[in-house]
Amino acid sequence: MCVQQESAALLLPGLNDAALLQMNTLLGMCASRMEAIPQAKAAFEKALAANERQAVFDPVSTHQYVQLLTRIGEEDAARRITTKS
């Protein structure tokens, strides 16, 4: 249900970067728990892009993505993200 609701909500017009960051992070977390890894990674990538546009970077959001990458064995990708963030 979470994945469906967040996916639908992300289609709403006029979402600012803070909303995109939070909503895509939640979508990534929900998709990850469902083992929908490609969908989770795509959502986390969008969250990371929105996060990088923020005046103040949110490390908690990025940590969620790094945890997923580490869990699925993509340590190099996780390292790249933590190094640039």
Mean pLDDT in residue range 72-85 = 91
How many folded domains does the chain comprise? 1
Cβ neighbours of 52 (radius 10 Å): 13
Could you tell me the residue range of the domain that residue 72 belongs to? 2-84
Residues 17/53, Cβ–Cβ less than 8 Å: yes
CATH number, domain of 24, equals: 1.25.40
pTM over 0.75: yes
Mean pLDDT of the chain: 94
Crossing angle for the helix pair 17-33 and 37-52, nearest 10 degrees? 160
For residue 2, name the pLDDT band (cuts at 50, 70, 90): confident
